[in-house]
Structure 1
Amino acid sequence: MNVFDKAIFRRPLHGERWRAPWSSDPAATRGRLFPEESSPTRSEFQRDRDRIIHSTAFRRLKHKTQVFVYHEGDHYRTRLTHTIEVSQIARALARALGLDEDLAEALALSHDLGHTPFGHTGEEALDACMKGFGGFDHNAQALRIVTRLERRYAGFDGLNLTWETLEGLVKHNGPLCDAEGRPFGRYRATGVPGAILEYDAVHALELSTFASAEAQAAALADDIAYDAADIDDGLRAGLFTLADLRAIPFVAGLLDEIAARYPGLESVRTVHELGRRIITRFVEDVIRESEARIAALSPADASAVRHARAPVVAFSPAIIAADRDIKAFLFSYMYRHPRVVHVREGADRVVRDLFERLLAEPRLMPLEWQEGLESADEARLRRRVADYLAGMTDSYALDAHRRLFDDTPELR
């Protein structure tokens, strides 16, 4: 019998929450690095979510680039608005699959905390600046932020999040290494970032297994939000047209549906209808595919999800193909558009200039960032500068460049 057909797994009516055996149970969390008393009013995962929302790093997402620099228009996505959209989709997936919505939301809200100013351009620039000294990786930086760099609490550095949230933050895209510790996937060539290995040594995150189903849901929510939002932003910016989008078979089919149901609909409403349909089709596909995978695996608990041979929350092959086609289109029409490339080149220069100047003159950083650098070796100094730069917003980085240099690129 399909596990979703069993009475114990029936979804309650009227929107009440249903939690499946394979979900992460906040009452059975593996705990925090620094033990704390439980809250009488919130679950452990609710507390994690709230700590993330109240963190300094979360507030800075408001002025960090998604694709377009903050001053290019009020309606383009920033890291913050993207994060909110990911959170909404992650909660929808979690509720449909009987997962812990608070953990899924916490992971969605924290997944971009480690991003630099100017989006992936800033990350690539910092990675180049840190070559030979551990590189720079935004997932590893997010872990550094929530375990070390946030300084809010009297008893510890970081946010002291639960094991499940930290695990999902690090492994939401899958295992980082095999059982023998050999890196694979995106870390095959460079190795698992040192910040992750350093934390894993004191609070093991089981880097060779999958993360929870909640983390898997948050990862797919990120993909869904990216695809829909970047199409919307690209159209708004005039980088491509609705006619251009017909090169993507999946999108062409949706546009045909809209035209058939709403003949003569003006373009602005067509764009919004398209975005709604992309998100809806992707979300519904994830639910169907994940229900089938869970039924086949019949996991007894969250541990069984972690030790499965493949993710249990996933796209179907058809939507994997649609996602691939959308990303290929956006790469050509948006991310490599001359306007965007021009801004990326200027942003790259800003980050590299600031890094080299601060490396040569660390006294230019605020006093709290200079602490303990008197006898620091080059590796430690470079990491401190990278931490400081990564925390900057777009506007702060540009202002800092104007203070230190006579010629600051105009990112327009």
Structure 2
Amino acid sequence: MPGLYRKTDSKRHAVASKIASTEPYRSAWRRDYARLLHSASFRRLQGKTQVFPGVESDFFRNRLTHSLEVAQIAKSIAIKLNETHKLFKNKNKKIEPDLVEFAGLAHDLGHPPFGHNGEEALDECMRDHGGFEGNAQTLRILSRLEKKENALPATSEYIVFDQDGSDQRRGLGLTYRSLASVLKYDNPIPERSRDRENKEEVVKGYYRGDFELVKEIKRAVLGKYFRGKFKTIECSIMDIADDIAYSTYDLEDVFKSGFKKPLDLFVLPSNIYENVVKTINKRLKKQYPDHPNMKVNTSDIQEILHYVFVEELFEFGKNEYKLLKKRKMSAEAKKMYYAAQSQQASQTLAENGYYRTRFTSKLVEMALNGIEVKKHKKYPQLHQARLDVYTFIIVEVLKNITFETIIRAPALQVVEYRGRDIVKKIFEAIIKDGGERLLPDDFRETFCGGDELNRYRTACDFIAGMTDRYAIEFYTRLYGANGMTMHKPL
């Protein structure tokens, strides 16, 4: 079958006898989308923090609303490329928008409570038992943890482990192509800390226990096992959409919060600009080897901020600026007036919903106009969408400015540090002798059904699936003086 999608792509990660007959009214990808949308893991994203904790304001985005925005942007990219790019002009070679939308909705399923600190805390707990990483956990949730499909015949009782100890769970029973759409990092995470190159950082990849699954995914998508870099066109589009959403809508939340206003971004401490430069140059080297001489410096950061904000800010006061030119005033007085007008415009952009919406729409449009595709010579499934290098730098500046000024700010770090402590304490309580009694029935069954590696992974799965609120509540029931109850379910 020619083009991007073939019969093997729609093969499902489950036993055929458990799958209903092909439905003529919807594609395999649309069915996967429906299964994801109705899953418990997807619903729980509403209780996981994006930038600001949900208790601060109902306005702020959470992981669920962020995922919806990523999915919409990703689908728009797919539709745009189908209409405008020569690689996708042929009807048999078009990108499947439903599959791209699925990837956008699913990409954050594996994130634990309390953001990056929660991820680091779980990884530290799992350093010698396979590690933890959000993207790896997403693949595990979709392919194993969600309670939709089981490898045993439909007439059998649902069980976790067969008599030979093999795991019978098949998650949502998705197509391999859908599973491929969330496989961002094609490398297994070392099972032991000593085997890691960098002992301090979370390793991006998939769990060693999913190695055979990843081989199956590659065979289903490409028709053979592939040893090169594997990342599908749908996954690359999702990745772009995620970066666009981070750089645009997280920044809007920052403005709405009152932490920063647009003009504040021009007068940040020098170490923030230096950290942003360091991060961007590292990513440029890795992702744009075809631009070996492309680097940024702190002056470039200021110029990009000027490009993004100044025209928008001066739009507010253009009439006042025109009148000012005609007035007879000293140069110093005019400078003071310009400064006051700029401060007012900055405050207006930060506080007025109409102006913020216009601003974010322009940013998204700018990013969508900067998308290019790198052709894969052999496999069209592995074409790579990416931002052109100049648009990439703009997006990275906005994304990393937000990260350095807000996510690393003391006010948020105190909250996340507390979350880190909560995650570790819960893990320690579960993994010690008798700790399985703290688990709900389904997790306790899995915990007791395997070896030490399985016990650690099950404890990790339980905690990773928690919302921020549930993690705090569970911790309080274990260690706090208040909240002691035997009637509220686990």
Global fold match (TM > 0.5): yes
For 1:370, the aligned partner's letter is R
- Matching residue of 1:54: 38
Residue of structure 2 equivalent to 1:343 = 415
Do 2:427 and 2:460's aligned partners in 1 also have CA atoms closer than 8 Å?
A: yes
Letter in 2 for 1:220: I
Map of 1:232 onto structure 2: 252
The Cα of 1:126 is off from its aligned counterpart by: 0.3
What pairs up with 1:54-133 in 2 under 5 angstroms?
Answer: 54-98=38-82, 99-133=95-129
232-241 or 390-399, which moves further after superposition? 232-241
* Percent identity for Structure 1 against Structure 2: 31
1:104: how far off?
0.2
1:263 counterpart = 2:342: no
Q: Following superposition of structure 1 onto structure 2, how do residues 289-308 of structure 1 map, counting pairs within 5 Å?
A: 289-290=372-373, 293-294=374-375, 303-306=379-382
State whether residues 239 and 337 of structure 1, in contact with CA within 8 Å, keep that contact through their aligned partners in structure 2. no
Residue type of the alignment partner of 2:187: L
Question: Residues 207 and 367 of structure 1: is their aligned pair in 2 closer, same or farther, counting only changes over 3 Å?
Answer: farther
Which residue in 2 is equivalent to 1:252? 306
1:12-411 map, 5 Å? 24-25=4-5, 29-34=9-14, 35=16, 36=19, 37-98=21-82, 99-153=95-149, 155=154, 157-171=170-184, 175-176=186-187, 193-201=207-215, 203-204=217-218, 206=226, 208-246=228-266, 248-263=302-317, 266-267=348-349, 268=352, 269-286=354-371, 289-290=372-373, 293-294=374-375, 303-306=379-382, 312-360=384-432, 361-374=435-448, 376-406=450-480
Q: 1:207 to 1:218 in 2, by over 3 A?
A: farther
Letter paired with 1:217: I
Deviation at 1:343, TM superposition (A): 0.6
* Structure with greater Cα Rg: 2
The answer for the alignment partner of 1:8 in structure 2 is none
Q: Is the 8 A contact 2:246 2:399 kept in 1?
A: no
CA contact (8 A) 1:176 1:208 kept: no
Conservation of the 8 A alpha-carbon contact between 1:64 and 1:117: yes
TM-score by length of 1: 0.81
User: Partner letter of residue 402 of structure 2?
Assistant: L
Q: Which amino acid aligns with 1:367?
A: D
Distance, in Å, in 2 between the alignment partners of 1:375 and 1:47 is 32
2:456 maps to amino acid? R
Q: Which has the higher contact order (CA 8 A, sep 6+)?
A: 1
CA shift at 1:218, angstroms?
1.0
1:338-362 Cα shifts (integer Å, max 9, x gaps): 1011111111011111111111211
DSSP-derived class of the 1:227 partner = helix
| Matched position secondary structure for 2:370 | helix
Q: Determine the C-alpha separation between the residues in 1 that align with 2:24 and 2:197.
A: 42
Question: SS of the residue aligned with 2:148?
Answer: coil
Return closer, same or farther for 1:142/1:207 CA change in 2, 3 Å cut-off: farther
Inter-CA distance 348–207: structure 2 relative to 1 (3 Å threshold) = farther
AA aligned opposite 2:404? S
State the distance in 2 between where 1:201 and 1:42 align. Answer: 27
- DSSP-derived class of the 1:339 partner: helix
Residue type of the alignment partner of 1:403: R
Q: CA separation in 2, counterparts of 1:404 and 1:51?
A: 34
SS of the residue 1:95 aligns to: helix
- Structure 1 pair 195–83 and aligned structure 2 pair: CA distance change class (3 A): farther
Q: 1:26–1:43: 8 Å Cα contact kept in structure 2? A: no
Report the Cα distance in structure 1 between the residues aligned to 2:416 and 2:38, rounded to whole angstroms.
Answer: 30
Give the residue type in structure 1 aligned to 2:380. A
Q: Which amino acid aligns with 1:274?
A: F
- Equivalents in 2 of 1:133, 1:368: separation in Å? 21
Change beyond 3 A, Cα 1:102–1:207: farther
Query: In structure 1, the residue corresponding to 2:45 is in which secondary structure?
Result: helix
Task: State the aligned residue count.
Answer: 368
- Distance in 2, matches of 1:400 and 1:188, equals 25
State whether residues 31 and 162 of structure 1, in contact with CA within 8 Å, keep that contact through their aligned partners in structure 2.
Answer: yes
Number of the residue aligned with 1:16: none
Map Cα deviations across residues 292-331 of structure 1 (whole Å, 9 max, x no partner). Answer: x45xx6x68xx2352xxxx531111111221232233123
Q: What TM-score, normalized by structure 2, do the two folds share?
A: 0.69
